[in-house]
């Protein structure tokens, strides 16, 4: 691939070992995917930041970068981690896990990462403009940035995103090119969509059917907002490898798409029911943990939860865990939502992720969630039973300790 003189100098190591290594990684990716050149990026979001993802090998790699004097070249946020940063000790998370996790975060801080520790960086200041080139990892953030914001990123891995952060570049291929952002299949939605759960199930169904492509989605309600489309995109990127969708009358590039000649799929309510049954254990279970916030909760979601819980109490022995970013938590505190939730027995957890939580070690056996993404990964990565339902159904389970749906 073509490199400028400055890029060649980076590759030769003239600006240090860390940037040389980053360029080696990016050039290798560019060669694999047929990129003709590099492009500058405006922002980066790095995944693989949890100890359960990167392990001791990740610590060794980051330590090597820090020893070489590595500094990030563009604003960069970090994905959620293996512990809730604000109350891991209170909730019984293992000390050894916390020590490893905090070491990882200290290494990123030494390199100049902005933190964030969230899968919704676009809600905490990392908001790319329409048409800008970025290098984001974290599948739910990628699909949101591409689809809802019209920014341009491929489905990066944590190492590729970190390499981009070190030199401010990424190979120009894939979704950075306009011709690759065109719709490849039209999806007609004939299902009734009431709350975020329905959008989450819809996204999962689309991902299963398409696997890898760019859906043009018709039939979504005009009132579908951030929370609903956030849930849909996250699930789409879980069951499939979708990094970009267009939704008619809702997303910025949808009006540029043509549907003539595209293969067509129809998704109805029966298909959403099948997804729910696939991802959920049978009813009649005793629930010991309700986990909401995969992707991390927005301020409006905290408001809805607080409104439901006001004047009520979570059943003793049931954990109600609400995962979000520190930034959204602070806004929730100002609005009074956090006080209401905590008075009811819920716990706001910042920086963590239910998927990367050591559920078995802290005694979780039956987990309820309204996220198809969380259900998918908790079933595949943990030895727990999972119940998936609407926000209201999950909160009712937190109050009663029973799953009856």
| Domain CATH number, residue 316 | 3.30.499.10
| Residue 285 confidence (pLDDT) | 87
Specify burial of residue 205 (Cβ count, 10 A radius: 0-12, 13-18, 19+): buried
Q: Quickly list DSSP for 171-219.
A: E--GGGSGGGGS--EEEEE-S---SHHHHHHHHHHHHHHHSSS-EEEE-
Tell me, yes or no, whether 196 and 96 share the same domain. no
Tell me, yes or no, whether 155 and 195 share the same domain. no
Tell me, yes or no, whether 116 and 257 share the same domain. no
Tell me, yes or no, whether 241 and 99 share the same domain. no
pLDDT in tens, 143-192: 999 999 999 999 999 999 999 999 999 999 999 999 999 999 999 999 99
Q: Any idea what the Cα angle at residue 73 is, between residues 178 and 98, rounded to 5°?
A: 105
Q: Of the residues 213, 248, 277, which one is the last residue of a structural domain?
A: 277
Tell me, yes or no, whether 125 and 232 share the same domain. no
Do the Cβ atoms of 227 and 123 come closer than 8 Å? no
pLDDT in tens, 71-108: 999 999 999 999 999 999 999 999 999 999 999 999 99
Domain count, the chain: 3
Q: Distance between CA 309 and CA 303 in Å, rounded?
A: 10
Residue 121, token pair as written in the block: 């960086």
* Confidence check: pLDDT of 5 > 90: yes
* Confidence check: pLDDT of 404 > 90: no
Tell me, yes or no, whether 133 and 111 share the same domain. yes
Tell me, yes or no, whether 266 and 302 share the same domain. no
Tell me, yes or no, whether 164 and 30 share the same domain. yes
Query: Domain residues for 19?
Result: 5-178
pLDDT tier at 121, thresholds 50, 70, 90: very high
pLDDT in tens, 279-334: 998 777 899 999 999 999 999 999 999 999 999 999 999 999 999 999 999 999 99
Q: Distance between CA 104 and CA 289 in Å, rounded?
A: 28
pLDDT in tens, 190-239: 999 999 999 999 999 999 999 899 999 999 999 999 999 999 999 999 99
Strand partners, 289: 319, 367
Phi, psi of 264 (to 5 degrees): -120, 140
Q: Distance between CA 397 and CA 285 in Å, rounded?
A: 10
How far CA 258 is from CA of 184, 229, 248, in Å, comes to 10, 22, 11
pLDDT in tens, 33-76: 999 999 999 999 999 999 999 999 999 999 999 999 999 999 99
Strand partners, 369: 388
Residue 6, token pair as written in the block: 């400055």
pLDDT tier at 265, thresholds 50, 70, 90: very high
| Residue 376 confidence (pLDDT) | 98
Tell me, yes or no, whether 190 and 142 share the same domain. no
| Residue 76 confidence (pLDDT) | 98
Tell me, yes or no, whether 50 and 150 share the same domain. yes
How far CA 351 is from CA of 73, 107, 214, in Å, comes to 23, 16, 30
| Residue 130 confidence (pLDDT) | 98
pLDDT in tens, 339-359: 999 999 999 999 999 999 999
Tell me, yes or no, whether 292 and 263 share the same domain. no
Q: Of the residues 178, 202, 224, which one is the last residue of a structural domain?
A: 178
Three-state DSSP class for residue 67:
helix
Q: Of the residues 226, 254, 277, which one is the last residue of a structural domain?
A: 277
Q: Distance between CA 211 and CA 389 in Å, rounded?
A: 24
Tell me, yes or no, whether 96 and 223 share the same domain. no
């Amino acid at each position: 691939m073509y490199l400028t003189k400055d890029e060649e100098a980076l590759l030769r190591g003239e600006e240090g070992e860390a940037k040389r290594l980053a360029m080696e990684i990016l050039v290798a990716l560019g060669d694999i995917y047929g990129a003709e050149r590099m492009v500058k990026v405006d922002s980066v979001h790095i995944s693989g930041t949890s100890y359960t993802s990167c392990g001791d090998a990740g610590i060794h790699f980051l330590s090597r970068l820090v020893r070489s004097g590595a500094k990030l070249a563009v604003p960069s946020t970090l994905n959620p981690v293996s512990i809730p940063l604000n109350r891991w000790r209170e909730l019984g998370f293992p000390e050894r896990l916390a020590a490893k996790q905090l070491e990882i975060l200290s290494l990123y801080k030494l390199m100049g990462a902005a933190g964030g520790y969230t899968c919704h960086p676009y809600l905490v200041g990392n908001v790319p403009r329409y048409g800008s080139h970025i290098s984001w990892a974290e599948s739910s953030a990628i699909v949101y940035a591409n689809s809802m914001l019209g920014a341009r990123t491929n489905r990066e891995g944590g190492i590729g995103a970190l390499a981009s952060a070190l030199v401010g570049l990424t190979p120009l291929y894939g979704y950075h090119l306009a011709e690759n952002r065109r719709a490849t299949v039209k999806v007609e939605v004939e299902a009734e969509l009431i709350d975020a759960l329905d959008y989450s199930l819809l996204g999962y169904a689309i991902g299963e059917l398409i696997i890898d492509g760019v859906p043009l989605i018709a039939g979504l309600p005009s009132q579908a907002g951030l929370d609903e489309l956030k849930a849909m995109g996250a699930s789409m990127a879980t069951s499939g490898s979708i990094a970009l969708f267009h939704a008619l009358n809702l997303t910025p590039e949808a009006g540029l798409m043509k549907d003539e000649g595209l293969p067509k799929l129809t998704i109805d309510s029966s298909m959403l029911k099948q997804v729910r049954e696939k991802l959920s254990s049978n009813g009649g279970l005793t629930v010991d943990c309700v986990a909401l916030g995969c992707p991390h909760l927005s301020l409006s979601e905290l408001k809805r939860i607080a409104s439901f819980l006001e004047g009520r109490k979570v059943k003793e022995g049931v954990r109600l865990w609400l995962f979000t970013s520190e930034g959204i938590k602070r806004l929730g505190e100002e609005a009074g939502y956090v006080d209401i939730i905590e008075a009811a027995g819920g716990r706001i957890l910042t920086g963590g992720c239910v998927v990367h939580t050591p559920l078995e070690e802290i005694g979780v056996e039956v987990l309820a969630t309204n996220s198809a993404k969380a259900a998918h990964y908790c079933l595949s990565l943990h030895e727990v039973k999972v119940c998936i339902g609407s926000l209201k159904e999950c909160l009712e389970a937190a109050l009663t300790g029973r799953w009856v749906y």
